[in-house]
Amino acid sequence: MASVSVALLTLGTARGAAQSAASLETEVKAAYLLNFTRYVEWPAAAFARPDSPITICVVGRDPFGAVLDSIVENRRVQGREVRVQRAASPQAGLDCQVVYVGGGVERARALAAWRGRPVLLVGDEDSFAADGGTIAFVLVEETVRFEVNVAAARADGLQISSRVLTLATRVYGEEPR
């Protein structure tokens, strides 16, 4: 009986650690979404008015829940309020400046919906940045990092700060120096 209790306690601890790691990963990604807004320049046409907010949209399955809302609450970036919006489909999120493409959304369809628009496209899927997304979250030794596609950003009228590029694990579309 004691060995069963120890096994259940160990399993519970492992599950707790896994849930804790998952929630930490979610918090880190949410913080990155907010911080990316500080280091990206959008063309004026990306906003309806000079005082329009920067809108972070989560399209598809939302891994963030209240975490992203809490991180963004009462924040201003580049003189603009930051807001979070959820959208069921790519077409519903066309007025966003940052779009996190969650699970359940076909990547090719999502990329096509925003191609040529001044939108910072962020995703988790393997090769998201290589396939035309702007930023892809990747796990490197259990740490959340990201890859950047500067060619995609440039094509969509975005300028990403060199500060972000130096932190990226990989940069696509960068011209040789």
Task: Report d(CA 150, CA 95) in Å as an integer.
Answer: 21
Would the pLDDT of 29 be above 60? yes
pLDDT digits (tens, 9 = 90+) for 134-167: 999 999 998 999 999 999 999 999 999 999 999 9
> What architecture does CATH give domain 29-172?
3-Layer(aba) Sandwich (3.40)
| Predicted TM-score (pTM) above 0.95 | no
Q: Nearest to residue 134, comparing CAs of 158, 104, 162, 103?
A: 158
In this predicted structure, what is the pLDDT of residue 10? 31
Residue type at 35?
N
Query: Residue 3 pLDDT more than 90?
Result: no
pLDDT (tens digit per residue) in 91-139 = 766 689 999 998 888 888 888 888 899 999 999 987 899 999 999 999 9
- Average pLDDT of 10-31? 64
